[in-house]
Amino acid sequence: FATITYAIATGGAGATITVLPGTYDAALGEVFPITLLTDQTVVGDVPTKGGGATPTSIVGKGTYGGLSGVGSIATVVCGPSSTISGFQIDADSHALSHAGVVIHGVLAHVNSNTIMNTTYAGVYMNDAKASQVVGNQFDTSSYGVYLNASPDTPVIGTNVFASPSLSINMTGVDSDPWIDNNTFQSGSIVCVQVSSGYPRISGNTFEAGSGATYGAVRTRNLTAAPILRSNIFQNSLAVQIQRDGFPDLGASGDPGNNDFTGVTGVCIQHDGTTDINAIGNTWPNDPPVDGVDIIINGTGSVILFTVPVDASSVGRMKGAY
């Protein structure tokens, strides 16, 4: 078949469609957004994420009527239990509402793609069930993955966020993804922003230069309670807590095992009102220095040790000395 659009329609539900290298755009006859049917698998050049000697590229955009605002313009829309992998997904667009891939109200798999040139969201997940966004490269300018109202533990894993200014954003009704083993190379604003939900953030590497403005992880409301375990922080501001943000960076019997030794500035900046646990981590200074490694601007405290007691000599950091 000459186009992916025709192959999807002809193959029907449950079909596996293998796509040869080339550029698939409106000039070729593609109709956007390309919309996968139930149980379909559309696969290109998986080993190179679509970036082979001759790229396997989907280039274009169209109106998706299932959403208003973010995701209402899309390149690819996933169907129930569908999979798309092995493509360069290129919006060729500067539309504010555009998303490279939309997962809306279904469980889908977006694996081993290069998401590029999308001004707003690389992958937009709205009520995304237990979808998986795994092994992708994000070369987007604004959001990498934007989650809204996705509480059924979707997985965002082993991706590389090379250029988004805000790599992963959670908003709306609580979203509870597993954000595991990703590499954040950029994020001039923030790498992972949690405005609501209880995500597990573990095994990630936040490289130098990422999260420069608001931190590698930023949590902003009482319903924003991420669990952070075994992450490596190498940037200038690791975790910022605002308002009533309530992150768990390690508890008694369940240590954080986060490595802050590569942080070049502040490990935790607590501007909020809550007492948070940060037990069992590795710090640039042992114990961490109040006003250097941990800065508390709000009324909350940071609990560093298993048996917390007030320790006035370290401001509002608490611990057993």
CA torsion sign, 281 to 161 to 67 to 107? Answer: negative
- Contact status, residue 303 vs residue 279, Cβ threshold 8 Å: yes
| Interatomic CA distance for residues 41 and 129, integer angstroms | 18
Alpha-carbon distance of 171 to 73, in angstroms, equals 19
pLDDT tens-place string over residues 114-134: 999 876 899 999 999 999 999
Whether the per-residue pLDDT at 317 is higher than 70: the answer is: no
Q: Give SS3 for 192.
A: strand
CB 111 within 8 Å of CB 83? yes
Q: Where are the domains positioned within the chain? A: 4-318
Q: Is the pLDDT of residue 255 over 60?
A: yes
Q: Give the DSSP letter of residue 300.
A: -
**Each residue of 152-176: pLDDT tens digit?**
899 999 999 998 899 999 887 677 8
Distance CA 197, CA 199 (A): 6
Determine the average pLDDT of the residues in 254-275.
96
SS (H, E, C) 242-283: CCCCCCECCECCECCCCECCCCCCEEEEECCCCCEECCCCEC
Checking if the pLDDT of 319 tops 50, the result is no
Query: How many whole angstroms separate alpha carbon 130 and alpha carbon 51?
Result: 28
| Residue 133 β-bridge partners | 110, 156
For the record, the structure tokens of 192 come out as: 């992972």
For residue 302, pLDDT over 60 is answered with yes
287 cis-preceded (ω within 30 degrees of 0): yes
pLDDT range class, residue 310, cuts 50, 70, 90:
very low
pLDDT at 37: 99
Calculate ∠ Cα 197-78-146, nearest 5°.
Answer: 30
With CA atoms as reference, report the closest residue to 90 among 81, 101, 80.
101
The answer, yes or no, to whether residue 320 has pLDDT greater than 70, is: no
- Region 81-90 average pLDDT: 98
- Give the mean pLDDT of 29-54: 98
- Whether 314 has a pLDDT exceeding 50, the answer reads no
Pick the CATH number of 4-318 from 2.160.20, 1.10.4160, 3.40.50, 2.40.30: 2.160.20
For the chain, what percentages of helix, strand and coil (3-state, to nearest 5) are there?
Answer: 5, 40, 55
Q: Is 31 helix (H, G, I), strand (E, B) or coil?
A: coil
For 92, counting Cβ atoms within 10 Å of its Cβ (0-12 exposed, 13-18 middle, 19+ buried), the class is middle
Q: What percent of the chain has pLDDT over 70?
A: 93
Q: Determine the residue type at 218.
A: R
What is the strand order of the sheet 137-139 is part of? 22-24, 56-59, 88-93, 114-118, 137-139, 160-161, 183-184, 205-206, 232-233
Lowest mean pLDDT among 34-48, 161-175, 278-292: 161-175
The b/e string for 188-219 (b: 16+ C-beta within 10 A; e otherwise) is ebbbbbbbbbbbbbbbbbbbeebbbebbbbbb
- The amino acid sitting at 189 is I
Provide the pLDDT for residue 93: 67
**Are the C-beta atoms of 44 and 86 separated by less than 8 Å?**
yes
| pLDDT above 90: residue 20 | yes
Contact 38, 32 (CB under 8 A): no
321 has pLDDT over 70: no
Does the pLDDT at position 16 exceed 90? yes
Asked if the model's pLDDT at residue 223 lies above 80, the reply is no
pTM comes to 0.93
